[in-house]
Amino acid sequence: MRARIIDRQDLLKIVDLLTTEYQVVAPFRGRGRDTYFDVVTGANRDLIQLHLPNPYYPPKRYVFPQSQRLMTLRRNGDLQIEPYYDAPKRAIFGIRSCDVAGIYQLDQVFLKGLYKDVYYDMFRKNLFLVNVVCTDSELDMDEDCFCVCADTGPAARNWFDLQIMDLGSELLVVAGSPRGEALFSNDFFRQATPAHVEKRREILTDIRRRFDKSTSWYSAAIRHITLGQVTDETWEEIGNRCLECGGCSYVCPSCNCFTVSDKQVSENEAERLRLWDSCALSGFTRMAGGHNPRKAVHDRRNRRFFRKLAHYYIQRELSVACIGCGRCVNVCHGNVGMPAVVEIIRRTKAEAEQR
Amino acid sequence: MHSFNPTLTTCTFCGVGCGIYLEKSGGLITGAYPSMSHPANQGKICVRGWHVHEVASSPDRLKNPLLRVNGDFQEVSWQKATDFIVERLTKIFRESGPDSVGFLNSPRCSNEESYLLQKFARTVIGTNNVHHGGPLHRQNTIQTLIEMIGVPAATNSIGELEKSEAIIVDGIDLGRQLPTIGGRVIRAKLNGAKLIVTGSRRHRVAEQADYFLQIKPDTDLLLYGAMAKVIVDRGLVDYRFVRQHCHGFEAWLQTIQDFNLLAAADRCGIEVELIENAAIAYARARSAAILYSTGVEARGVEPIQALVNLALLTGNVGREGGGLMPLAEYNNLQGICDMGVMPDRLPGYRPVSDPKARKALEKLWGKPVPPNPGRDIWSMLGSGDTPLRAVWIDRHNPVATAALCDAAQVLEQADLVVLQHMFMTNTAKYADVILPLVAFGEEDVTYTSTERRVQIAQKAIDPPPGPIPAWHHLVIVANKMGARWSYASSSDVLDEIAKAVPFYSGISYENLGREYGRQWPCTTDKKLGTGYLFEDGLPEAGFQFAAVHRPPDAASRPTDDYPFYLSLGYSLYYWHRNVLIQHSETLRREYGILLLDYPEGFIEINGQDAKRLNIRDGAKVRLVGQVGSAVSTARVTDEIRPGTVFVPYFQQEIARQIVWTEGARKSNVDNPVFVRVEKA
Amino acid sequence: MSEVHTGMIDQVRQEASNAGIEPPFENVYLPKSAVLERVVQEIKEVKTFYWRFEDPAEQAKFRNFRPGQFAQVSIFGAGEFPASLPPSPTEDELFFTIREVGSVTRAMHEMKPGDRFAIRGPYGNGFPMEDYYGQNLIFVAGGIGLIPLRSCIVYALHNRDRYKRIQIFYGARTPGDLMYVQNLREWEKAPNFECYLTVDRAEDGWSGHVGVVGSLFTGLELPVENTTVFVCGPPVMFRFVLKDLKGMGFQDKQMVSTLERYMKCGVGKCGHCCIGVAYVCVDGPVFNLEQIKKLGEEI
């Protein structure tokens, strides 16, 4: 396997290597639980840590920014449209396995299908992902994350360029792509042995056991949603707790809905922006003229969980669209994030069957 | 240049004051997301907070001062604009005296600019004509809370709701106005707290209620009196607390005997058991909180007194998880009142008429403070009293406020109207000078949330060339008028605020910057601030029960001719006028839907009533009252209580024709209005 | 290397962000400049806009559109919206028929000939008119629902010998609401074309049929075998007409329509137009009833 070992103290050498070609972002600690990705500079390089809570603001912002200029329209007699491209070469040093799956889900939306999104493509091609495996249940895991249920972690199997795993005294580094593997030519990487691989297996087995409190066992919900068997009453129970903030979509690493807005900046110049949007909001499907097919909040809750859990999508992507990061649990005012909804669906179905 | 260093700041939409991070790129604010550790919101914000970045950098904001020359606005230099103001202002107050000038601000103004506004009015001009726009009934809460518990603010913190065993939500649609608090309430209920929601509207949080008391409009006084009576009759009064810490209990007890449970249930239109069970749930809880709106919903004095009485009866003042939260829907409603932007109160709430209070400030300011209370906003912008010759407005938009129906007229005939704002508003059309201010994220200023938390809204980016912070406008003009103010930064202003407002004495930018602001009282010997009032001990002066009399039976009632109760108020949809919301694509869509669906405005009627009257959603209807009638479009919704018709405040015409006859500006709390609904 | 120089990081950042970056493939979000040639008032609040691309190469490429497709129309400063393509690819001119219903369409209605705007497209699956060769075609439209179907009708007219029996059933609220009146007259006169018109309410000297569109079916024996029925109109009409057709024996697969949803990107990315598992802009807007039932969400 394309696995190497490095000494703990050589960790930042990987950062240094990447800095020669990319703008490197890494997670840093802020106040309390707040952690965030920030650009690595000479000033903060030594503050980079391997183990800390996963930044709340999802890394999708590096391929799909919260607000982004797409083009400028200029009017002077005729109409000129000038696209705006800005895709710096960037490396995320320390993206979690669940979030890697989120990037994969976004790849399926933006790069597959009849049309390819060139803005996304440029960001994506210039993005180097260094996945860090969650091995410290105290520091890395959140109370609410459940990658084992989504099968996206604790170690990503795919879709990263490099993967770093803390084995204790040493770090195991796995290449997931040719450009990741290209780094192995540097002399501080040495060959991994079967003993290292065994250690990795032990650690992963152990960490998987730590997910006993936070889970989201999807099977039943997937089945019921796919068969269209979840009743309106159940969706209403869920919708009654929703305050329509859009947070679930905004923090979700695999959510991609957006709106486009033209802003006139001067008499003859307008900017077209792409902005995050959410199917949770009541105006999301409203048509000019007034008809709104998803006017009621419970219809919108239905939509969200259909998109995340219906079998059609799982079969298409060979992966469930919910990546198990737990951010929706944290962001939701009414406690109707994924685990809660999965449980409600299971419970109401079981109650209905008993009657 | 890409700089993703997120700036931790405070959202400025509503009184919750959520902690949010602003993402910056290329000198612009490009994203916003919640702080997980902020004690008020803990990782959650509402749809408005998620779109703050769209609002911050908007292309049609004002860049340079505007001066009206021959009827049209011209861009001029700061020098010219401020010289003009000084010249005109000086002339006016020399000719007509200081009380010919009035100052108005908005509950969106920062502490710094509010403090300097009232200081300017009082020391540079010499008038107490200062007041704030926005919720016009906040005065009632300030008055009542000072009298009854001594402090005009929320007694407990938002975070303590998770410790409350019972919560009463009075009349406010938390899900729409203060969603973060709405979420706290919902989660508390899911964790076992008893949720009691009162009010005539069935909103989202009401769906979660254990006890939803969907009372007829304006019967809350009866309800709370009846609940208090239940508590007394069932022996659930916390007598130890009452005897040791409260005055006026006996007098209050006398009046409460008048409240009859059955009669109240009948008048309120709900079941007796519901009132009983709600009262028992509240009283039995080890700690119970009461949340009520102070601004958006018009609040007379008595209902507030009744609520405070309930809290005192059960010993819920000075108890963690208990207390009273007078909610501020506007982000700095608490702060501007703390700063003394009131005609009869100085910074820190001391009365203008109190010579000791004036002396303390005179010592700090080095200038005399006028001794007579000034005019309130009703008076300043009403057509009744002597018109003002000069009006200085900071951010407020009185011309767009339904209840200030004469504002345009008053401003039209004034000799000087100065407006500080970021965009052209309805009021801007009446201004002589407009001074542009900087946007959220472009200055370091402080705001005080509904839980008394004084927080910094951090500067994240530089403002574009042109606009300067609002507080700075006042410094320039004051100094040109000889004031000699020397504030190099907003931090200097805050340092002086700490000297002027006793319960802010420990506050400084440095202290606020440590964690997530500080809740006042934050004094030099209590620098960490105060989580819940009286946490260190109940006050010696004790608390005061207010004897509330049962409202007379013969108040007007619905008749066959006029069977529907006309309820006036703000709906969610007053937000559509909010200039900030208008500048975000998503927010404009979300908050504009009702106005797109009902472009000529609407009134709301319950589904059952609509069906009976054969009125379809979107149909034209006529409301016929005793003094007049008006035509509008029906919006059929089951949120409305059957037997009620709801008219949003921005339907100024309806308000004028049916409710307010010339001059009379009483709220419908005092004069319930009944109407008939017909197809038009 | 063991040291990191901020200067180098800044330099890399600088280089990456410079303008002049070439996209690796076509940018589907980029509209192309177009000129408004003339404007015709159809009915109240509805205008037809004749236009052409400024670049003849774009014009030529676009001409290969299929009936039932749509384009995204950008109006400077106002925004972008999806507009059906009512012309048949067999016709010479390109045009849109737009009802003024929101801020962007309002801005378009204020445009004058010679004004510039921008178009991108054609998008959507369109009606597979070749699949229907040899079949009977029945068109049922209500009000402005005729706009998207016009393309198919004129295509069928221009390829008359490809199809067997062709019938059009069209109704509007009043005679003043009938769309494409000139075309209607042609179709009524065209040989081998059965055109039945109706209005809900007779006015202006109307001497024709009065009643809802479904009432046109009374007394007629529609060919059920080997037929495709195109239905397009307001939701209420849609429901009732489908009921009538089912009653006559038409199968779900035989009934096709063009669905409408709020759209933003038009290319299957933004999520607004999703119905269940489908994106109306890419998997539709044309669906048959069998497909509609399998979408996974109520329409």
Rg (CA), chain A: 22
Residues of C in contact with B1 (CB under 8 A): 13, 17
Tell me the CATH number for domain B557-679.
2.40.40.20
Dig out the tokens for C162 from the structure: 């490809």
Residues of B in contact with C105 (CB under 8 A): none
Distance linking the first and last C-alpha atoms of chain B: 60
DSSP symbols for A186-254: STT-EE--HHHHHHHHHHHHHHHHGGGSS----HHHHHHHHTT---HHHHHHHHTT-----HHHHH-TT
Please tell me the number of Cα atoms within 13 Å of B344 on its side-chain side: 6
How many angstroms separate the CA of residue B251 from the nearest CA in chain A?
A: 43
Is the torsion defined by CA of A223, A225, A226, A229 positive or negative? positive
Asked if A300 and A269 count as a contact pair (C-beta separation under 8 A), the reply is no
Residues of B in contact with A335 (CB under 8 A): 186-187, 190
Asked if B32 and B440 count as a contact pair (C-beta separation under 8 A), the reply is no
What residues contact residue B311 under an 8 Å CB cut-off, 6+ apart?
A: B155, B288, B290, B317, B322, B323, B324
Confidence of residue B333 (pLDDT cuts 50, 70, 90): very high
Predicted confidence at residue B670, as pLDDT, reads 52
Percentage of residues in chain B with pLDDT exceeding 90? Answer: 75
Confirm or reject contact between A188 and chain C (CB < 8 A): no
Confirm or reject contact between A265 and chain B (CB < 8 A): yes
Domain boundaries, chain B: 7-57, 66-135+332-435+466-483, 139-327, 557-679
Residue type, B96: S
Percent of residues in chain C assigned helix, strand, coil, to nearest 5: 30, 30, 45
Fold of B7-57: N-terminal domain of TfIIb (2.20.25)
Residue B398 has pLDDT above 90, yes or no: no
Q: Name residue C40's beta-bridge partners.
A: C48
Predicted confidence at residue B392, as pLDDT, reads 97
B128 compared with B57, residue with greater pLDDT: B128
Predicted confidence at residue B298, as pLDDT, reads 63
Inter-chain residue contact A125 with C277, CB threshold 8 Å? no
Confidence of residue B84 (pLDDT cuts 50, 70, 90): very high
A116: nearest CA partner in chain C = C28
Predicted confidence at residue B574, as pLDDT, reads 61
DSSP symbols for C193-227: -EEEEEESS--TT--SEES-GGGGGTT-----TTE
Predicted confidence at residue C99, as pLDDT, reads 96
DSSP symbols for B606-652: -HHHHHHTT--TT-EEEEEESS-EEEEEEEE-TTSPTTEEEEETT-H
Fold of B139-327: Dimethylsulfoxide Reductase; domain 2 (3.40.228)
Predicted confidence at residue B181, as pLDDT, reads 98
How many angstroms separate the CA of residue A202 from the nearest CA in chain B?
A: 32
Neighbours of A45 (CB within 10 A): 18
- CB-nearest to B53 from A39, A66, A330 is A66
Confirm or reject contact between C13 and chain B (CB < 8 A): yes
Report chain B's mean pLDDT, rounded to a whole number.
91
B652 compared with B395, residue with greater pLDDT: B395
Per-residue pLDDT tens digits for A323-345: 999 999 999 999 999 999 999 99
B222 compared with B553, residue with greater pLDDT: B222
Dig out the tokens for B635 from the structure: 């919006």
Q: Report which of B500, B491, B502 is spatially closest to residue B469, judged by C-alpha positions.
A: B491
Per-residue pLDDT tens digits for B229-285: 999 999 999 999 999 999 999 999 999 998 999 999 999 999 999 999 999 999 999
Question: From CA B305, how far away is CA B223, in angstroms rounded?
Answer: 13
Predicted confidence at residue B537, as pLDDT, reads 94
Question: From CA C57, how far away is CA C55, in angstroms rounded?
Answer: 5
Percentage of residues in chain B with pLDDT exceeding 70? Answer: 93
Question: From CA C55, how far away is CA A36, in angstroms rounded?
Answer: 47
When pLDDT is averaged across residues B570-590 and rounded to a whole number, the result is 77
Confidence of residue B139 (pLDDT cuts 50, 70, 90): confident
List, as ranges, residues 271-330 from A with C-beta within 8 Å of B.
273, 275-278, 281-283, 286, 290, 330
Per-residue pLDDT tens digits for B568-578: 776 665 666 67
DSSP letter assigned to residue B535 = T
When the candidates are 3.40.50.880, 3.40.50.740, 3.30.2130.10, 3.40.190.10, the CATH number that belongs to B66-135+332-435+466-483 is 3.40.50.740
Q: Which residues of chain C, if any, have pLDDT below 70?
A: 1-20
Predicted confidence at residue B397, as pLDDT, reads 87
Predicted confidence at residue B402, as pLDDT, reads 63
B181 compared with C299, residue with greater pLDDT: B181
ipTM: 0.95
How many angstroms separate the CA of residue A268 from the nearest CA in chain C?
A: 8
Inter-chain residue contact B33 with A261, CB threshold 8 Å? no
- Give the angle subtended at the CA of B32 by the CAs of B31 and B38, to the nearest 5°: 155
Please tell me the number of Cα atoms within 13 Å of B307 on its side-chain side: 29
Cα distances from B151 to residues A36, B154, B523, B546, in angstroms, run 39, 8, 15, 15
DSSP symbols for A49-70: -SSSPPPSS-GGGGTS-SEEEE
Question: From CA A108, how far away is CA A101, in angstroms rounded?
Answer: 11
Dig out the tokens for A339 from the structure: 């685990």
- Give the angle subtended at the CA of C95 by the CAs of C92 and C100, to the nearest 5°: 165
List, as ranges, residues 553-592 from B with C-beta within 8 Å of A.
585-586, 589-590
Predicted confidence at residue B197, as pLDDT, reads 97
What residues contact residue C4 under an 8 Å CB cut-off, 6+ apart?
A: A15, A16, A19, A40, A41, A42, A45
Residue B82 has pLDDT above 60, yes or no: yes
Residue B89 has pLDDT above 90, yes or no: yes
Q: Report which of B60, B9, B6, B2 is spatially closest to residue B445, judged by C-alpha positions.
A: B9
Q: Which residues of chain A, if any, have pLDDT below 70?
A: 1, 213-214
Asked if B31 and B441 count as a contact pair (C-beta separation under 8 A), the reply is no
**Strands B644-648 and B564-569, bridge-based pairing:** parallel
* Residue B86, Cβ density class (10 Å: 0-12 exposed, 13-18 middle, ≥19 buried): middle
Helix (H) or strand (E) holding A75: strand A67-76
Inter-chain residue contact A39 with B207, CB threshold 8 Å? no
Chains touching chain B, criterion 3+ CB pairs below 8 Å: A, C
Question: From CA B18, how far away is CA B499, in angstroms rounded?
Answer: 27
Dig out the tokens for B312 from the structure: 């005192």
Cα distances from B104 to residues A32, A61, A110, B336, in angstroms, run 39, 42, 51, 11
Predicted confidence at residue C4, as pLDDT, reads 32
Q: Which of A259-263, B2-6, B432-436, B558-562 has the lowest mean pLDDT?
A: B2-6
Dig out the tokens for C172 from the structure: 């509007």
Predicted confidence at residue B604, as pLDDT, reads 94
